[in-house]
Amino acid sequence: MTEPSDTLHPAISSEGAAHPGQQDAGFLIRGKYVLTSSEPEMISDGAVRVVGDTIADIGSFADLSGRFPSCAVLGGPNDIVTPGFINTHGHFSEALVTGIAENYALGDWLRVLIDAVAPRLDRESAFIGTLLGGVQMLRTGITLTNDMFVCDPRTTPVTPGVVQGLEELGLKGIVSYGASDRRSGTSVEGVLAEHAALREAAASSTLCRFRVGIATVAAQAPSMFARSVDLASSYEDGVHIHLHESREEIEFIRESRHMSPIAYCAQHGLFDSPTLAAHCVWLADADIRLLASYGVGVAYNPVSNMILASGVCPVARLRGSGIKVGLGVDGPASNDRQDMLETIKTGVLLQRLDQLDPAALTARAALRMATIEGAAALNLDNAVGSLDPGKAADLVVFDGGSPALANVHDPFQAIVYCAGAREVKDVWVAGQRRVADGELPGVDVTALVRESRKLARCLAQRADLGALSLLAAPG
């Protein structure tokens, strides 16, 4: 198993600037129930003390308010507090093509939609797309997202627009470029330049870290794949890849490379770098043993898997083998909302339906997957994912005054089954309130939506999506 990294980027570790105007004692965030994703799992009438960008204390509200009487108190006596959610898989590259191409399985969906869009994305669409997707993520409690931007390389690198968007919103990101040399005209040099530009942008960001992205094993020629492995081992930041999402992908690699994609990654050294594998739907026992032995983390994307009719990730088998499984909303073209609460609930329901077992996945387990287990899948569990002193102050406050949370018999079930975006009152990222009473301070969402419409229309027309999109019509 891969050990958690101890050389963290400052933005995701506990260092950083203090909240403006904040006193040394910090402030308290109070909840009727504080769900920690740690030990103890729940504190009744609890509070979290935040100093700067870090959790300084956690305990009962009576104790903390007594010891720190000068601290301002946020949250409320009926609210529920959780760690910020970790989205382990997404694609801001799809933010302008939502609600489209519904009747395709993965392979055809890639050919019809993604292959048409990817060559036409530019830095501006990366920036606006990240804002559009990121606003939705923050509103549903996501404080860190693991993104893979899929586009063709251009003279001016595209993917730094993702970092720019995350900085604008104050949302943490693990950013990667979903590299492929499969589409005609894509050069290896262009792919490497895009990786380098994104890595440089992430290094200058206070919120982002870089990973080497690989769209799929099939998307890269063996020589390109070898370059990706080299890159991952030299950067030491880890890898983000789609693996075993569809049977078609596995059959293709078996025919051309005579083993499963997972076995190919293991044999060619990819898993020697920390790896996050998205999907892992179709798995032989040997594949699961390889994932476990290399400490590969898995992103379970229930809504996307259902939309593309891909299949059901064997979550119990994976977790039973010691593999860390997080939850992912996946891209806006295969979900199509960027809603973590929808994903958590759907993730539970899909496992129950698949197993015909109402205990197949519990609310408590799902909340752990959305927080500390997702962090562990990304090797960041020593910095984020639970409410522990010393970790980043990434928290969500759910509104106990909402009708959906009026009567809480079990706060874990209340969050998983009852809560939606409307119940998300405040979201704190590194001690900064990025969502306040359901709104994003400093973000002009109306102007953003207006701006995105022009880009989406232009993209639909240039990608020739007339058979799929009303936006592609002239005028």
285 upstream amide cis, omega within 30 of 0: no
Torsion 321-340-103-242 (CA) sign: negative
Question: For residue 168, how far is the Cα from the chain centroid?
Answer: 17
Q: How far is CA 203 from the centre of its chain?
A: 19
Please, what is the minimum distance in Å from the beta carbon of residue 278 to Zn ion?
A: 5
Q: Write out the binding residues for Zn ion, residues 139-168 only, by CB under 5 A.
A: none
Q: Which is nearer to Zn ion, 36 or 346 (CB)?
A: 346
Q: Any residues with CB less than 8 A from the CB of 458 and at least 6 apart, and which? A: none
Q: CA torsion sign, 453 to 457 to 458 to 459?
A: positive
Q: Pick out residues in 330-359 that bind Zn ion (CB under 5 A).
A: 330
Total binding residues toward Zn ion, as defined by CB under 5 A: 1
Give the integer Cα–Cα distance in Å for 125 and 356.
43
- Contact mark string toward Zn ion, 422..451, x via CB under 5 A: ------------------------------
Smallest gap from residue 232 Cβ to Zn ion (A)? 18
Show the tokens assigned to 158: 């595209």
- Looking at residue 140, what DSSP letter applies? T
* Residue 126 beta carbon to Zn ion: minimum distance, rounded to whole angstroms: 16
CB closer to Zn ion, 330 vs 381 = 330
Strands, E assignment, 356-429:
395-398, 424-429
Q: What is the DSSP string of 91-109?
A: -GGGTT--S--TT--HHHH
Q: How far is CA 245 from the centre of its chain?
A: 17
Smallest gap from Cβ 90 to Zn ion, in A, equals 7
C-beta of 353: minimal distance to Zn ion in Å?
22
Smaller CB separation from Zn ion, 29 or 241: 241
Using the minimum distance from each CB to Zn ion, give the nearer residue, 161 or 332. 332
Q: Work out how close the CB of 231 gets to Zn ion at its nearest, in angstroms, rounded to a whole number.
A: 20
Near Zn ion by CB under 5 A, which window of 284-292, 323-331, 380-388, 463-471? Answer: 323-331
The C-alpha atoms of residue 300 and residue 280 are separated, in whole angstroms, by 8
Stretch that binds Zn ion, among 195-203, 281-289, 325-333, 453-461 (CB under 5 A): 325-333
Contacts with Zn ion in 32-71 (CB under 5 A)?
none
CB-wise, 34 or 142, nearer to Zn ion? 142
Q: Which position's Cβ is nearest Zn ion?
A: 330
Specify the residue, 29 or 116, whose C-beta has the smaller distance to Zn ion.
Answer: 116
Between 173 and 431, CB nearer to Zn ion? 173
Nearer to Zn ion, 242 or 433 (CB): 242
- Least spacing, CB of residue 173 vs Zn ion, in Å: 15
* Dist CA 140 CA 131 (whole Å): 14
**Closest distance to Zn ion from the beta carbon of 214 (Å):** 12
Beta-strand relationship, 325-327 and 208-210: unpaired
Which region, judged by CB under 5 A, interacts with Zn ion, from 49-57, 96-104, 215-223, 322-330? 322-330
Gap between the Cα atoms of 157 and 127, Å rounded: 12
Q: Which is nearer to Zn ion, 33 or 282 (CB)?
A: 282
Q: How far is CA 462 from CA 56, 119, 133, 380, 469, in A?
A: 51, 10, 22, 39, 12
CA distance 283 to 293: 15
Interface stretch with Zn ion, choices 107-115, 157-165, 191-199, 329-337 (CB under 5 A): 329-337
Residue 71 C-beta: closest distance to Zn ion, Å: 42
Backbone angles phi, psi at 312, to 5 degrees: -120, 125
**Chain residues in the site for Zn ion (CB under 5 A):** 330
